[in-house]
Chain A
């Protein structure tokens, strides 16, 4: 029987990281997850709207929660930033009844919606490990991922109460999953470090140093690729790796793909793209 979730694709799945939204489609079929798209869901705010008006971001996200609640579903997202930001706002609303009442007042007035607190936010990774179970993933693997993989979690969902039963500072869900897919997880220090994605455009020099450090750490530990659980960080680590290297002089050249992609490749989807990735890793290398 399919597991049902309300689906939030994450911030830039429709633009900067279209491959995430695309790969999610066959992936959830393989995993036996039935997604109901939250067609009216807005951006989670990426921690940016919050900087200018926290209540505005809270209300926008409360609207998303209310939509999922109307469907009677919990929320699933493949983006760690979205998972973290939504979880943070959900926690605030659930832990402060006065705030919730005030936000509900605006929601009712503007959208005719009310949120009572009956939904949860889940990252794809936690659904796979906690709900589906790794033992059910193994039989689905068609193309074993025979690489040394550095798993990148980022800081957003590695917070108390936001990362399932995984450890905040020493997570290993993704490492377990990579192993199940046939890969070889690399232990590295920077996997929960921020790459400064929310400030990419405003504090670029610092963000480039942060990104270069993370990329270089993965390479130094012998990783052949980085698999990211975050749409936003995934984009920064990939697109800006050349510029980051120019800025810092560090070696940063390494393939960075999203978790949903590596899963769909392992389960036999997009074989051509997987071949391209293998070529990139095995032939072109560094």
Chain B
């Protein structure tokens, strides 16, 4: 029962606290080189205890010093006359209690005394905790695990090895450092839980499909899946919508008919609405007989229907004849590997499939199952990650960053990383949790705006020196409420004030058999769709580096939405006029200072191109008046004049005398003339630009901007492409 590195973690728990601590101990044990088993005190006998080399007990006290319910029987057995000795058992006890009771931590104290009296060796002193137990429990756990790790294979405690064990543990797993907060160092234990469920649905006439479904269910555990086999008869179709993984094994009856137990479900599926199975990953094994005209027809129908209802086919359907053993097994191996590559959030990681198959082929370490099937261990590679997270506490108005260095599975989503850190490290960490495609969960990772449920850790940043370093921040351009949560109201308020609703034009429709219908050219429809196909408005809003610094700016999300509405042929002329006024206003497209930061984000190039079109349109309507118009016009004009931009002219014409005067007194001119921080170079051109701006005379002076070679070509291009300059 007791392996050489085994550790038994026992909990006697009434409210669940002791169980929680025991669970943490169990998870942390591996980095101390221990193989932990966590059990309730009602799951073991006293004899079991006697055979252990290492026991850690977490025990609460109930009422007036009583044992918790699940410990009572064991305590009675332990105090029986014939109870075995505990010599050879290394132990330590964490006692949980409440000082407001007279007998504080009495149960833990009893177990501690009993083990000692029975000859056990106390490797670490008992710790008694009050209701605020977390810190003390953590300290006890760290120290005791290190000491248990120093118990050698023969069961002898080697005190001189304790420090080495601690050192190994800190190197093997996780160090935590906090830059700005004072939280104590502790370890991250990554939960590999998450949804691993697989539904295997069978439609069977003779029993073959059912038998196969049962066989595949057994095999699925080797792939880290928890399979449930369900008969199509009486199955609730709507319950499929919450599934992430579904396999269908279905035979065909007679001339292409559904088997009896599938008929009713098929009728329901035939009238189900599109999108019911969105997010469902599936594959179909069809059983049939080639001697019939419609071979495997039922399976084909299910395959098609699942796709129509929005499901995602991970592995192509396989149609089996009566000799189906080998071909069905091949399908199962492919389908199970694919299903195993669907993570807890339902995201399919195609690149993992081959690795899973390989591990199945080479996996000889697992236990043997029925049918000669070997169940290997399914491993996911961990990577070293340095994770810095922005923190903001609104109560104290303090900001800072917390940094964790940890080893995590590379395929873990960033959302799962946050969840893990919250559950194991810092419960106060605040972020928006939700489905993977929830647009409000958006955050920034190294300046990249993402939905955290959709991004794998190992794809979130480049892997350097074997590790990954990510900096998680709230989206910029929004007010931060706490940590990673931002206030979206400002964006929504701006969107509301932009009056995004449609006011339709009266248009002539097309005559169709269904009556008169409005129409739109496919090109226009496609362009509008690509502009409006925005999954997360907060992400688009944050993609501009200007939104955070301009309170009035509507931001790219609203601008592009308005621009699309402006170009929609269904929009009434009066509404188009209203939209143009918004776009041309100081809070409109002119407030965007640099399109390039938008271009690099996700869908940015479409947004970028749309905004650029919008700016061109605004400038054309403005007739190059105002600073924006002058800036663009004079820039283009000076390039036409010499091939080079002439900043002498540009500053003079755009800023005007008042603007230049402002620069004179704000130090800009001085810095330019004197090269205050720069270290040399010819300043004479700059100086002349400000002290004696010649461009005000209206003619480009050659001495300040010589023309490029073959300048006439530049002029010719301008004349050909844009006669306005």
Contact = CB atoms under 8 A, between A and B. Distances in A.
A51 B593 contact: no
B458 interface: no
Interface string B169-190: 0000000000000000000000
B603 interface: no
B545 interface: yes
A192 B635 CA distance: 25
Interface in B565-605: 590-597, 599-600
B678 A12 contact: no
B596 A273 contact: no
B65 interface: no
Interface string B654-681: 1100000001001110011001111111
A43 B645 contact: yes
Contacts of A268: none
B158 interface: no
Contacts of B461: 167, 169-170
B627 interface: yes
Contacts of A47: 594-596
Contacts of B648: 15
A210 B643 contact: no
B252 interface: no
Interface string B674-693: 01111111110110010000
Contacts of A243: 663, 666-668
Interface residues of B, number: 81
A109 B677 CA distance: 47
A158 B598 CA distance: 11
Given A14-B644, A242-B666, A60 B710 contact: no
Contacts of B672: 16, 239
Given A48-B631, A169-B447, A210-B546, A277 B679 contact: yes
A18 interface: yes
Contact of A56 (B548, B668, B721): B721
Interface in A132-173: 155-156, 158-160, 167-170, 172
A192 B713 CA distance: 36
Contacts of B645: 11-12, 15, 43, 46
B600 A51 contact: no
A160 B605 CA distance: 10
A166 B680 CA distance: 31
B600 A155 contact: yes
B719 to A, nearest CB: 8
Contacts of A213: 548-549
Interface residues of A, number: 84
B699 interface: no
Interface in A46-94: 46-56, 59-60, 63, 84, 88
Contacts of B714: 42, 60, 63
B28 to A, nearest CB: 30
A179 to B, nearest CB: 13
Interface stretch (A27-35, A119-127, A255-263): A255-263
Interface string A89-118: 000000000000000001101110100000
A52 B632 contact: yes
B628 interface: yes
Interface in A237-254: 238-243, 246, 254
Interface stretch (B113-121, B237-245, B612-620): B612-620
Contacts of A43: 639, 643-645
A41 to B, nearest CB: 6
Contact of A196 (B593, B627, B677, B722): B593
A50 B577 CA distance: 24
A93 to B, nearest CB: 15
Contacts of B671: 238-242
B447 A189 contact: yes
Nearest to B638: A43
Nearest to A275: B679
Contact of B627 (A201, A238, A240, A254): A201
B471 A41 contact: no
Contact of B636 (A56, A202, A206, A255): A56
B655 A111 contact: no
B435 interface: no
A194 B639 CA distance: 24
B673 to A, nearest CB: 10
Contacts of B464: 172
Nearest to B721: A56
B667 A242 contact: yes
B593 A15 contact: no
Residue from the set B600, B709, B711 with the largest chain A CB neighbour count within 10 Å: B600
B668 A242 contact: yes
B653 to A, nearest CB: 9
B138 interface: no
Contact of A257 (B600, B678, B722): B678
A194 B685 CA distance: 27
Contact of A206 (B549, B667, B675, B711): B549
B718 interface: yes
A42 to B, nearest CB: 4
Given A51-B612, A160-B600, A207 B647 contact: no
B680 A270 contact: yes
A197 B545 CA distance: 12
A46 B634 CA distance: 13
B446 to A, nearest CB: 4
Given A47-B596, A63-B717, A276 B679 contact: yes
A196 to B, nearest CB: 3
Nearest to A214: B545
Contact of A19 (B546, B663, B679): B679
A131 interface: no
Contact of A194 (B553, B594, B616): B594
B451 to A, nearest CB: 15
B643 A42 contact: yes
Contacts of B679: 19, 257, 261, 270, 273-274, 276-277, 280
A111 B709 CA distance: 12
B448 interface: yes
Contacts of B680: 19, 22, 270, 272-273, 276
A53 B650 CA distance: 18
Nearest to A59: B717
Contact of A54 (B596, B612, B678, B711): B612
Interface string B704-720: 01001111011011111
A170 B446 contact: yes
A143 B49 CA distance: 69
A249 to B, nearest CB: 14
A48 B624 CA distance: 13
A109 B717 CA distance: 9
A56 B717 contact: yes
A242 B612 CA distance: 31
A255 B680 CA distance: 13
B469 interface: yes
A209 interface: yes
29 contacts: A11-B645, A12-B645, A19-B679, A19-B681, A22-B680, A40-B708, A42-B639, A43-B643, A48-B631, A48-B632, A51-B615, A52-B722, A59-B720, A110-B719, A155-B594, A170-B462, A193-B447, A193-B597, A196-B546, A202-B590, A202-B631, A203-B593, A206-B549, A206-B550, A210-B546, A242-B671, A246-B667, A255-B677, A256-B677
Given A51-B616, A194-B594, A246-B667, 12 more contacts: A14-B705, A17-B681, A55-B721, A63-B717, A159-B599, A206-B546, A210-B593, A255-B677, A256-B678, A257-B677, A274-B679, A276-B679
Interface of B: 445-448, 461-462, 464, 469, 471, 473, 545-546, 548-550, 553, 590-597, 599-600, 612, 615-616, 619, 627-628, 630-633, 635-636, 639, 643-648, 650-651, 654-655, 663, 666-668, 671-672, 675-683, 685-686, 689, 705, 708-711, 713-714, 716-722
Q: Which 9 A-B pairs have the closest CB atoms?
A: A196-B593, A19-B681, A242-B667, A110-B716, A209-B549, A199-B593, A39-B709, A194-B594, A273-B679
